[in-house]
Structure 1
């Protein structure tokens, strides 16, 4: 709950700095993608080209992108009528190696890690 509140407050501060008034989005540009596809970003984004962007909708957009779990930082900016989204992806885990386990099988440990949000490639 605290994390969601902090995200909303920080998002509002970033947006207030750049977006004093609403504008019609002529294009959307996403910077910083490395492993996450642009399609994943646009699929989670509640804004589209041609729509009006105001502070409330931009806060909602930031919140929606954070909820994907792919990003550790998201900043929205504006270049004319172009919505610019700068992201920093969360680091991914290349591989998980478990050694010395005797009481619990490796398969069960891997399932537990995955349920906790830690898995290869995530």
Structure 2
């Protein structure tokens, strides 16, 4: 998967947006936390991509038990660099991992983040759970 298809997969999720708080080499994908009484702050991160490194890699949030299983079954999935390895996986995009599985991992990361939002914010995103 190239960077544009990866970007499209992340931005295709409700409320998702991209920014570069760590510099131009790391794309951060967040879910915008909808409205409320206070002005919304930065959204919650569900993916980080090192865009200028080959092969591409993406860091995704993951349930801790599933993270261990994925790492043992797929050598291209490891603990994410510079993130809490209990909750974040790093996925090397060298063509080994099936694109459908990668999309599922992106959606799972997004779902973990959105599921932690208050019900009113989940509803504003149109999120029904997966």
Give the TM-score, by structure 1 length: 0.27
User: Which has the higher relative contact order, 1 or 2, with Cα contacts under 8 A spaced 6 or more apart?
Assistant: 1
Q: Which has the larger radius of gyration?
A: 1
- Greater helix fraction, Structure 1 or Structure 2: 1
